[in-house]
Each structure stands twice: as C-alpha cells, then as structure tokens.
Amino acid sequence: MAASALGQRVVEEPSLRRSVTPWGSFAWGYSDVGADIFVGLGLVLGAAAGASNVAFLFAGIVYVCIGLAYTELAAAYPVAGGGQYFVFRGLGDIFGFIAGWAVLLDFTIDIVLFAWSCIDYLSKLIPVLSFVAHPWVHFCVVLTVIGGLAALNIIGVRESSAFNEIVSGLDVVSETSILFFGFLFAFDPELLVHTMQIAWPSTFGLMNGVSLAIISFVGLESISQAAQETQRPASVIPRSSIGLILTILIFALAYSNLALGMHPWHALPKDALGHTQPLWQYLGNQDNNGAAVAVLASYVPYFGTLAALYVPVLGAILLLISSNSGVFGSSRIAYAMSGAQLLPSLFQRVHPRFRTPAVSIAAFCGVGVVELVFASLPSLSPPVKLVYAHFFRGESGITFLGDLYAFGAAASYSFVFIALIALRLNDAQSPRKFKMPFNVPFTYRGNRVEFPLVAVLGFCGIASILAFTMITHAIGRIAGPTWIVCGIVGYMVYRRYKGLPVLRSQPHDWRKAQINILRAAGELELMDEYLTNVSRMDERAATVNAAAP
C-alpha cells in the first residue's frame, strides 16, 4: 500500500491537550521519582547497613537501563499508558494485562506508601502523628488522606503542572543544599570506609537492601505517562528523561554515602541499652526510617537547624503529590486497560457530573485502604503482631509496603525490557529518535534491526532484584504473586465471558495506531518517515511474493 493511501485512511481522533514543557516533563517525573529517596533511604539503611551505598549502586545501574528503555519507548510511542502500553503492543494482550496489573499494584502501593511517609515526615514536627508512638492516630490520618485524594480525583481536582514544577524545583535545591553542607562540614571518607567494614551485612541483608533500593528509582514511567500531553515528545522526553536519570542517581548514591560517613553535629539519642547509635543505624530504625531524609538533614552542621523546620514540610508536600499521582495513575491505567478489553468495561464508567473515571478511582483507592490495613495491623492489634513476628520476621508497616512496591516494579520492568526487544524486531519501521546504546545490527525477516544489549543487561539486573525480593521478603513472596495470579484468573474469566481470545491477542491495526500517535504528537516528520518505511517494507514483501513459485 502506498504511503499516501495509508495516510489517508487515518482518522483524526480527539487527544489530550499538549501543554507539558521540557521542564514540566522533568518535574512530572521528579515529583514521582524524587519522592522515592525520602522513603527508600531509611529502609535500605535498615536492611543493608554498611553496604547501603553498594545496594543503591546495583539498583542504580539497573535503573539507568530502565530509564534508557523507557526513554526510547516513550519517544517512539508518545502515548499515555507507559509500560503497560509498551508491553501490550510488543508482547500481546495477556502479557499487556500482566504488566498493567503489576503496575496497578505499584500505583495502589504509591497511594498508601507515600501517604504513610507524608505523615511520617509531618510527625517530625507534630509528634502525635508518629506511627510508633500513636499508631491509631497515624492510621486514621493516613486513611483520611487517601479518602481525601480519592474524593478530589473524582471531583476532577488534580495537581497542576505548574505546582509540580515549583515543588520539584524547591526540592532539587533543598536536597542539593543538604548534600552540599553535609559533605562540606561533616563527611569523613575514613568513617565511610570504617562503617562499610564493621557494618557489612550478611548476604541475605545485602539482597534485602538491593530489593528495597529499587523503590528509590520507581516512577520514571511518569514521564512516559505524560507523553501524550508533552509538546514534541520525541525531542523533549529524551532530554527530560536523561536529566531525571542522572539527578536521581546522583542523589541516591550521594545520600547513602553521606549517611554512612557523616559526623553529626550534635549527639544522637541513645538506644534502649544506653548505647549511642551511629547515624546510619539511627536513620534505619523503625522510628526514623519513614522520614530518614528529614532526620539526616537535621544533623547536618549549621544547616541542620533550618532544615529541621522546612525539610519535613517540603518532603510531606512532595510525598502527597506522589500519593495523588498514584490515585490518578491507577485510574488512568485501569481506564485504558478497560478500553483495550483487558479489564471489564466497568472501569471505563465515568461520573455523570464530573466526567472522571469514578469507579476506577474508588476501586483502586479501596485496594490501597486494604493494603493500609494490612500494613498497620501489627501495631494496632497485639495478637496480629505476634502472628506477623512468627511468619514474617516482624516486618514493620512501611517495610511491608516497600516489599510489595519492589515486587510490582520488578515484575513490570522485566516485561518492559522484553517488550523493547520484541518491538525492535517486529516494529523496525517506527522511527526511534533516541536509541539505547550498544546495539548489534543484523537482519530479521528481511528487515535491518538492532539488538539492544543494554536491554539484556537491564533484564538480568531487574530479574535478579525480583529474585532477591522473593527470597528476602516473606510478605512480598506471598502477597505479590497472589495479586498476579488472582489478576490472571480474573482476566481469563472475563475474556471467556466476553467471547474474546483468552491466551491469544485480538487483531490490532498497529500501523494505523502509530500514525495517529505521531500525528497527534505533532511529530509529522517522524510520521512521514514511518510511512516511507512501511511502504518500502510492503514493496519488498510484494517483490518476494511475486518471485515465489
């Protein structure tokens, strides 16, 4: 088929308004990923101790591979949906469902984990909100926050891009200031080496730390989620993504090394035995692991007095935005999956007045409330605490949430790497303005393709983290796979009931879809290139068929 004829068949469809600028794209991702270090630092210090920086380094290398994969895919397919769409397009319906279902688990954890940590940070200024000292108060406040965010999203109120940009800018300045003053006045390289030597964890502890460190890098897909609302996404997304990758990687490595090698400017509280704890251990205990960045900032010389007042507030705001992104993201993914007939049409229903996907918002906020109950029960009920201590090594509430967060992220990212390889092979015609480095060119089905070695490295890394999560987290080992299995069973029942293929995919016109995507994105040059590539491929196929006996 000629390129012009193919182009004429495309029907113009309504699309989201493209108003996200380059800085807005960066801020969109940072408001999600940037909040993760506020949660992950204390958890990793509590698990990996003196090897926390190594855990962050391993997870950071995997994160760079993930970031490069998402950058390439979001620039080539600038449409809302992120990883779920890439897997759906590259691997088919059932794998697209599994990836989307894993992402939905992460989004529901997003809602609870960041709301939980938001209150943890505020508790540094308002002690009555402390989960350790007042678990019922903490539980009720977090529950109220989740309910409030659900109501706001149903009404249609969501964080504006401008507010994201302001908060993200303030947080980048704040986190940079903490690191600057910390390394300038209190960091001791010899103390770092000493801490790594005397507090090196067991193999189990290191694997546990690595599995938790990956949660400090979850959320980069937020940029791809906003691709359909980004101006000239094929050009903007690579710049904002690379900037975000480097920013978060530097922060994670710097904070972990600072925590292990910093001399606090005033004495730390003593533990139950009357011993003074090292700073890294104090940050990793249950009292502080939910607000580790704020506690660390308060012990920075000179800067700490001011930081103790504003870092909890700024951190709480950033975490609240991230929690809200979980509400918005889960409803968007569920709505899109319903439209692709991967979920029942119930999740496409919109509120008659507010025109928002009220059912999806209510359903997945409800899942978040269930997760909150399970995370809080050990502290709310002594008998339950004994059961948890026996079966789950006494994991704290925030660690429970971190377990599931790590499982969902590792599962969905694994499929994204496979989908990238599949799309490289089966959709070589789509222009890729950005490509992962280190590719091996070869011919596949008559097309010249490039096999991505970095995707293989990333898959091996994220698969290792998924294995570490299953080995070291008793709750994650049970709850995570149970979520996936229940989802697959529900998917199969739904597809059979609707008379749709269960294990196979429905027919999809990906050519038409890709042209619509590029046209809606304003990437007309890339659309023309795609049409030319498709036309050449069809001509080659016609020539081969004509020559066949």
Asked if the structure places residue 19 within a domain, the reply is no
- State the total domains in the chain: 1
DSSP letter for 277, please.
Answer: P
Query: Which pTM value belongs to this model?
Result: 0.85
CATH number for position 72: 1.20.1740.10
- Is residue 412 pLDDT above 50, yes or no? yes
Task: Return the pLDDT at 41.
Answer: 92
Give dist(CA 203, CA 87) in Å, integer: 33
Asked if the structure places residue 515 within a domain, the reply is no
The secondary structure of 112-143, three-state, reads HHHHHHHHHHHHCCCHHHCCCCCHHHHHHHHH
Asked if the structure places residue 355 within a domain, the reply is yes
Report the interhelical angle of 304-339 vs 36-48 (nearest 10°): 110
- Domain interval for residue 216: 62-510
Residues near 148 by beta carbon (within 8 Å), at least 6 away in sequence: none
Asked if the structure places residue 422 within a domain, the reply is yes
Asked if the structure places residue 407 within a domain, the reply is yes
DSSP letter for 270, please.
Answer: B
| 3-state secondary structure at position 357 | coil
Give dist(CA 217, CA 219) in Å, integer: 6
Quickly list DSSP for 164-229: HHHHHHHHHHHHHHHHHHHHHHTB-HHHHHHHHHHTPPPHHHHHHHHHHHGGGGTTTHHHHHTGGG
Asked if the structure places residue 17 within a domain, the reply is no
- The dihedrals phi and psi of 157, each to the nearest 5 degrees, come to -85, 125
Asked if the structure places residue 345 within a domain, the reply is yes
- Is residue 163 pLDDT above 70, yes or no? no
Assigned token pair, 305:
């007095």
Q: 426 pLDDT band (50/70/90 cuts)?
A: very high
DSSP letter for 503, please.
Answer: S
| 296-341 per-position pLDDT tens digit | 999 998 899 899 999 999 999 989 888 888 888 888 788 889 888 9
| 111-160 per-position pLDDT tens digit | 999 999 999 999 999 999 988 888 899 999 999 999 999 988 888 655 44
Asked if the structure places residue 44 within a domain, the reply is no
Assigned token pair, 367:
């899942």
Residue 516, H or E segment: helix 510-520
